[in-house]
Amino acid sequence: MSRHPVLPLLLIAAFAVPACTRNTAPASGQRHPLKGKVVEVDLAGRTVTVSHEDVPGFMPAMTMPFVVLEKDAALLRGVSPGDEVTASLVVSDSRYWLEDLVVVKKGPPDPNAAPGRTQEAHPGDAVPDVALVDQDGRPLRLADFHGKALGLTFVYTRCPLPDFCPLMMRNFEAAEAALVKDLALAARTHLLTVSFDPMHDTPEVLRAFGKPFQKTARPFTHWTLATGKEEAIRALGGALELEYVDETQSFTHNLRTAILGPDGKLRRLFRGNDWKPEELVAELKAAAGAP
């Protein structure tokens, strides 16, 4: 399934997040058959983490969390780590979830499934001033944004799940549209999206990927896309609780979006995907000291 068959299990605690537990859902979506082994069950969050096989025509094998709808929450009470399951993965324009969850074989928990955790980030923490490269191949550092409030998030361009990386891009797109309407606020803020897939997400790929989202007359003047060396991204992401595992053509990962103050220190960390663009704008405005 992966070049690192044990490592995805270290991300369980970070992935079973409330971001996947909204109570409403679209009436329909594309359906894909899913088969795999259960790693963790979160009854309160209505989430099951599954180490699944390839989903034909949609995404490769990986370990990741899935939400079930409220009407199907009782199904999770019969599911345990180690169980082999089948289900229908339903993907809409903005969400994904499981339906028709069935245990086809009971099994013992995986002894290697001990969760791993990064060090918890707190407001006021220093953030590593790592070296990155932007969508035009130019070197940059976080220190280049000192003096401005910075909104920072992480994605990879091949992410197939609509409420993971694509949602982060849409949220930043909406936030940028609001920020650049006020020239004074735009001058005191900046957005930065960092890819943790440097082998694929080259500057050229990032420019092509990011340009349709840009809301400024000259693209990338207020919102920069960047990547860098693996050790730099690990250092930056680790300071902000980002967890990701390379699954060859995809990544198992969580979501972290940070607000850094003009001094480069952490002011707020959004965990998961429940935050809204207007919240990001408000946090950036406050961090920039804008009236």
- Mean pLDDT computed over every residue of the chain: 84
**62-71, 152-161, 279-288: lowest mean pLDDT where?**
62-71
**Tens of pLDDT, residues 126-183:** 999 999 999 999 999 999 999 999 999 999 999 988 989 999 999 999 999 999 999 9
Cα 27 to its chain centre, rounded Å, is 25
Residue 165 φ then ψ, to 5°: -60, -45
For residue 24, the model assigns a pLDDT of: 38
pTM of the model: 0.67
- d(CA 141, CA 55) in angstroms, rounded, equals 38
* Count of domains for the chain: 2
What's the pLDDT score for residue 44? Answer: 74
Residues 87 and 139 in one domain: no
Q: Is 122 inside any structural domain?
A: no
Query: Is the pLDDT at 36 greater than 80, yes or no?
Result: yes
**Parent domain of 242:** 131-288
Pairing outcome for strands 62-67 and 84-91? unpaired
Provide the CB-side half-sphere exposure for 148 (13 A, CA). 19
Lowest mean pLDDT among 41-45, 123-127, 182-186: 41-45
Tokens of 79: 């599911």
Q: Is residue 112 part of a domain?
A: no
In a domain, 159, yes or no: yes
For residues 180 and 247, membership in a common domain is answered with: yes
Q: Do 25 and 157 fall into the same domain?
A: no
220 within 8 A of 212, measured Cβ to Cβ: no
Q: Is residue 52 part of a domain?
A: yes
Examine the domain organization and report whether 90 and 170 are in the same domain.
Answer: no
% of the chain residues with pLDDT over 70 = 86
Same domain assignment for residues 146 and 264: yes
For residues 143 and 195, state if they share a domain.
Answer: yes
| Residue 111 CA, distance from chain mean position | 27
The CATH number covering residue 63 comes to 2.40.50.320
How many other CB atoms are there within 10 angstroms of residue 101's CB atom? 20
Q: Please, what is the Cα angle at 48 between 47 and 53, to 5 degrees? A: 140
Question: Do both 142 and 265 map to the same domain?
Answer: yes
pLDDT at 235: 86
175 shares a domain with 137 = yes
User: What confidence score (pLDDT) does residue 244 get?
Assistant: 84
Per-residue pLDDT for 18 more than 90?
no
CATH number at residue 259: 3.40.30.10
188 in the same domain as 241: yes
CA distance 96 to 29: 8
d(CA 242, CA 236): 8
Looking at 105, 120, 147, which one is the last position of a domain?
Answer: 105
24-30: Cβ within 8 A, 24+ apart: 25/69, 25/92, 25/95, 25/97, 26/92, 26/93, 26/94, 26/95, 28/90, 28/92, 29/90, 29/91, 29/92, 29/93, 29/95, 29/96, 30/90, 30/91, 30/92
CA distance readout (Å), 30 to 19, 58, 75: 21, 10, 21
Same domain, 232 and 177: yes
Higher-confidence residue of 142 and 4: namely 142
Q: 143: part of which helix (H) or strand (E)?
A: none
Is there a single domain that holds both residue 60 and residue 139? Answer: no
